[in-house]
Amino acid sequence: MLSSVFSGASKKGAKQSLSDIEVNRVLSVKTLFPPDFGLVKLDLLETLGTGTFGRVRLVRSLEDHQYYALKMMKKGRIVRLRQLEHIQNEVRILSRVRCSFVSELYAVFQDDNSLYVMLEYIPGGELFSHLRRQEKFSQAECQFYTVELVCALQYLHELNVVYRDVKPENIMIHKDGHLRLVDFGFAKFLDDDRTFTLCGTPEYLAPETIQGVGHGMAVDWWAAGVLLFEMAAGYPPFYGDNPFSVYQKILEANIKFPSAMHRLTRSAVSSFCVTNRARRLGSGRNGFAGIKAHRFFLGIDWISASRQLIMPPVIPSVLSDGDTSNFDFYAEEAVEEANNLTATERGMFREFDSILERPSS
């Protein structure tokens, strides 16, 4: 398998065999900004993206003068859409996982109306934006990005974390050209082998998720195949006018490959996107060894890949630490009225103190 994905990770609790990822298994809460950290200690800058609950803004700390990405989520929307558990899972995982392929969490704080999650700023932008601009990637780019995604997923799986939201929008490119996974809203620690929540992006859902028979780590390997196809072709293998037509195509698993797609890419996609989880590349009896042995990955030095030592095929244009040129422009959000949460709803958000092992506020 892989060597250490986490640069500078403590060897305590890590596997030492070169056939495995050396995972820092100490899942204590990482050092964050202090609990009293808040908006008054930040300079709010441009909007980097928008979502269901709010938006992500570039901020600069008035204390260390570094740039960060701040997820600003409206509590009322979170409660109304019943997504609080997903966000709690995201904070629980990001506050404990130590992996150089995962965006770093620095602070979590809140006020009466909003919840704030402050993360590493990744100035290279979304993989989606680069793919949209280029229309499709070269074979070298497809292989590199798939290798780094595999490193990230395998690290998470070693910690019993299933990601469940692989897609180009959730993969960022750092200024050095290496990848970071972001948006862990659908990720969770698996206490059992399977979970049953229907979540994710329709085009990337695995058959077992749609069928509601329970799913586990194998859904991430299916999604890796879908992403590889989209990077090579410029569009996903399963698409339609509505989610139900997409689901039908996924269940049929009949992939129509463009004639120009490289044969090894076709083979890898076909191996990842197998309905039978026991035969799916990355899962089943062979596990990660099956990925290593596949011809698409021939010649990959997985130890170097896991340490981000392979030279990226593309280095994004980043002029400064606070450069936002790789992100789209977003208009500012209109001021909203107070959320008027009930006492019970406000109490639900105090659970973040427990997740972050803070004294109850």
Strands (E), 131-196: 161-162, 171-173, 179-181, 188-189
Pull the structure tokens for residue 182. 């972001």
Residues 232 and 261: beta-carbon distance below 8 Å: yes
The CA distance from 21 to 131, in Å, is: 29
- Encode burial over 151-185: b for 16+ CB neighbours within 10 A, e otherwise: bbbbbbbbbebbbbbbbbbbbbbbbebbbbbbbbb
Nearest to 265 by CA among 227, 299, 238: 227
Radius of gyration of the chain (CA): 20
Max CA pair span of the chain: 60
Strands (E), 177-228: 179-181, 188-189
Pull the structure tokens for residue 265. 């890419």
Angle at 36 between CA 54 and CA 79, to 5 degrees: 35
Choosing from 20, 64, 112, 165, the catalytic residue is 165
43 catalytic per annotation: no
The CA distance from 34 to 149, in Å, is: 32
**Catalytic amino acids?**
165
